[in-house]
Amino acid sequence: MKNKSEWANKLIFGDSQAMKELEDNSVHLVVTSPPYYNAPFDYPGLFESYDDFKNLIRNVARELKRVLDQGRIACFVCDDTLIEGKKYPVVADITKIFIEEGFKYRERITWVKPEGYIRISRRSGVLLQHPYPMYYYPDNLQESILIFQNGDFDYGRIPQEKKEESIVDLDETQNEKWYLSVWNITNVLPFKNRLEKGIAAFPEEIPYRLIKLFSYKGEVVLDPFMGSGTTLKVACELGRNCVGYEIDIELLEVVKEKLGISKQKRLFSPGFDIVIRDDIKHLRTELQRRIRGEVLMDITAKITGIEYTPFLCRKLNVFDLKDFDEALSSEATFILKIDEEHKVAVSWWVSAKRTRSYPYTRVYDSLDFSGKKVTIIPIVKDEGADGDRDFLQWDTVSLMSLLGVYVIIGYYEAASTNPDYANKITDQRYDTTYLLNAIKKLLSYQSDALHWNLSQLEKAGEIGEKALESYIQISKNLGVKMHSIDSARKRIKKLLEGKEAFLGLSRELAKKAQKRETITEQPKEKLAGGKSMITITNYLGGKYFFTVDEARLDGKNLLLFEGKHTKSKTLPSLNDIKDGILKMILLTNLKDVKIKDKRYNPVPILKLTTGTGLNIDSLIRSKREVLEGLKKEAKINGFKTKINDRYID
Ligand SMILES: C[S@@+](CC[C@H](N)C(=O)[O-])C[C@H]1O[C@@H](n2cnc3c(N)ncnc32)[C@H](O)[C@@H]1O
């Protein structure tokens, strides 16, 4: 045991799985709380798996066994963690690990927080909404303080004088009821701008009691997961020496501030040695970004083919060839009867952009048709200078190829003025003669959608030129100002260089858009976690870039969420649901899914959220039927459906 004069307090920034700065048996008490395993509001995605978390605890327990003096105490403040409706038995596992590493399990105190300060979720609301058996989920008000002992303590080793110096105040223990195994202590309140923001700090009262009860003045108190430095602060105030480990270098200033040693201001007599090792991490910025939903997990996957059976397709109306114009103006998806023997399913996109007027839903509705499925996409849609302009992207066509859908790249040739805006047009109409010619060619086409679509992409420049000429004409006829023709011409020129140039241009833009999408949360996609990028390679080496609304690791499983939200309706609209399902078609066919060369099992999840809660029993019949169809579709095709916090199956 070192004597007091040799000891200097230490702040060590580095991984506490190796406490090489500490000699064997040099510590007299440990008071700590480990990171809450991947807790969504504090440590989302910190550990790749629950096993990794347990390994950390085991390694630290081993080091604590070494550095703790004979008979001394290690206190772990911890709780089971709830992730995605599943509890991880952290308290039981930490207990087991410490016993396995040779500690004696001496005590468990339950720390009870006051009602009214429940920080995370009020799960009890579920029962309020559904006052029936099986809907019970309690709000959590407690954590455990696990107390382990490093063998037997030799009470005779402590001189009486030292005992007197550290005498426990019995008035305090009686009045505050320290003698019970339940401690009522207020947690650190989430005031704005508090020093402990984003740290999951415990209140000073906890180390205060433990230090008084389990250490003598002048001894050394260690916190291997220092956080904001609460244990160290209290230890110093109680005349103990201290040492703390913290892996996140971004907490250095917080700890210095808490200990009163920032700006050379020293509150406590002993100084601090600050060690910064090279195994530090920069965690907080990353964690805070994840908590705000900005996770960037780079996921790669392959698709070798699509197998999928849809059940929610709308029943399509059949139109004769001569009524093609009427079909286009009245239906988003329909069957076109070319002659007695030939029919095709046709859907059409209002704009080339996925987010406008549910193009995925339109395509989805054609997927259970047994013949050729065609989708018409405009090469460009210019709504006029007061509106938007969207260009077709390569990956949109690639996606259709994966789904076995034949693309016809079309263009608008007529439009009407928009009564509400000077420079906006509406009711844009395709060149249907051009489209019908393409459909007829397609009827006799023998090869698959992929090859057809590649030949369409080859023609994209040519079609783009036609589109531009049309818009110049429309602008003249209607007296409406359009977006810059010059910039459109530049883009089209690139397409004329061939499909490689188109691919290059789209790739660049798609990557940018993917990055953008990962940091902007759409109101329709209201999810707790973070967006992630997913890069899919197809069997010909083509690449698609997608985002999923949320990706979360759970052991070997990679949960991939596509979210749809409604604020006021009882269920997101059928259009929204089908739009989400189209992503499920891809996600259920992913192979070889990896993050940084590590392989995971993808679990696609369609997550529907409602602002008003969900009571399946009170849904109107048509919505219940949608849910039934969705359940069937999910089951047969291998994705999960979650509504608010419940999986339905
Ligand atoms: C629950 S917090 C501790 C909060 C602390 N009790 C307080 O009051 O501020 C756990 C801390 O452990 C840190 N941590 C996680 N892994 C670590 C490791 N391997 N070594 C050292 N510190 C680690 C985290 O960065 C986090 O600050």
pLDDT tens by residue, 558-587: 999 999 988 888 889 999 999 999 999 999
Q: Where do we find the tokens 């189209």?
A: 582
pLDDT above 70 (res 266): no
Residue 285, both tokens: 């910025």
Q: Summarize the confidence of residues 300-308 as an average pLDDT.
A: 90
CA angle, residues 379, 381, 385, in degrees to nearest 5? 145
Which of 56, 204, 208, 225 to probe ligand 1 with, by most ligand atoms within 8 A of CB?
225
Question: In this structure, are residues 23 and 2 in contact, taking their beta carbons and an 8 Å threshold?
Answer: yes
Strand-pair category, 182-184 with 104-112: parallel
Q: Which residues line ligand 1 (CB under 6 A)?
A: 15-17, 33-35, 56, 196, 199-202, 225, 227-228, 230, 245-248, 251, 283
Question: In this structure, are residues 70 and 151 in contact, taking their beta carbons and an 8 Å threshold?
Answer: yes
Nearest CA to ligand 1 atom 17: 247
- CATH architecture for residues 4-290: 3-Layer(aba) Sandwich (3.40)
Rank 313-327, 534-548, 596-610 by mean pLDDT and report only the highest. 313-327
Q: Where do we find the tokens 């009245």?
A: 330
Residue 622's pLDDT band, with cuts at 50, 70 and 90, is confident
User: What are residue 391's DSSP bridge partners?
Assistant: 380
Q: Where in the chain is the domain with CATH 3.40.50.150?
A: 4-290
At 538 the pLDDT is: 77
pLDDT tens by residue, 457-489: 888 999 999 999 999 999 999 999 999 989 899
- Of 207, 224, 198, 230, the closest CA to residue 39 belongs to 198
Question: In this structure, are residues 312 and 630 in contact, taking their beta carbons and an 8 Å threshold?
Answer: yes
CA pair distance 265, 272, nearest whole angstrom: 12
At 265 the pLDDT is: 46
CA of 597: how far to CAs of 286, 560, 588, 592, 600, in Å? 21, 18, 20, 10, 10
Atom of ligand 1 nearest to the CA of 281: 25
- Of 438, 486, 492, 484, the closest CA to residue 465 belongs to 492
Residues 6+ apart with CB under 8 A from 538: 302, 303, 304, 398, 401, 402, 544
pLDDT above 60 (res 187): yes
Which of 78, 205, 226, 250 to probe ligand 1 with, by most ligand atoms within 8 A of CB?
226
Stronger pLDDT, 515 or 205, i.e. the higher one: 205
Q: Under DSSP, is residue 426 helix (H, G, I), strand (E, B) or coil?
A: strand
Which of 38, 242, 247 to probe ligand 1 with, by most ligand atoms within 8 A of CB?
247
pLDDT above 70 (res 612): yes
Nearest CA to ligand 1 atom 19: 15
CA pair distance 102, 61, nearest whole angstrom: 9
Q: Which amino acid is at 462?
A: E
Residue 507's pLDDT band, with cuts at 50, 70 and 90, is low
Residue 2's pLDDT band, with cuts at 50, 70 and 90, is very low
At 520 the pLDDT is: 40
At 304 the pLDDT is: 86
Q: Which amino acid is at 430?
A: Y
Q: Tell me the backbone φ, ψ of residue 284, rounded to 5 degrees.
A: -60, -45
Q: How many CB atoms lie within 10 A of CB 114?
A: 12
Residues 6+ apart with CB under 8 A from 569: 610, 612
224 CA distance to ligand 1 middle (Å): 7
pLDDT above 80 (res 301): yes
pLDDT tens by residue, 317-360: 999 999 999 999 999 999 999 998 899 999 999 999 888 899 99
pLDDT above 80 (res 598): yes
57 CA distance to ligand 1 middle (Å): 12
598 CA distance to ligand 1 middle (Å): 26
CA pair distance 584, 571, nearest whole angstrom: 18
Q: Tell me the backbone φ, ψ of residue 639, rounded to 5 degrees.
A: -125, 165
Whole-model pTM over 0.85:
no
Residue 33, both tokens: 């709380």
At 368 the pLDDT is: 94
pLDDT above 70 (res 37): yes
CA pair distance 18, 73, nearest whole angstrom: 19
pLDDT tens by residue, 75-115: 999 999 887 778 999 999 999 999 999 999 999 999 999 88
Question: In this structure, are residues 417 and 425 in contact, taking their beta carbons and an 8 Å threshold?
Answer: yes
Atom of ligand 1 nearest to the CA of 17: 19
At 144 the pLDDT is: 98
207 CA distance to ligand 1 middle (Å): 15
Q: Summarize the confidence of residues 159-177 as an average pLDDT.
A: 96
Residue 116, both tokens: 């009214």
Residue 541, both tokens: 């080496």
CA pair distance 10, 614, nearest whole angstrom: 53
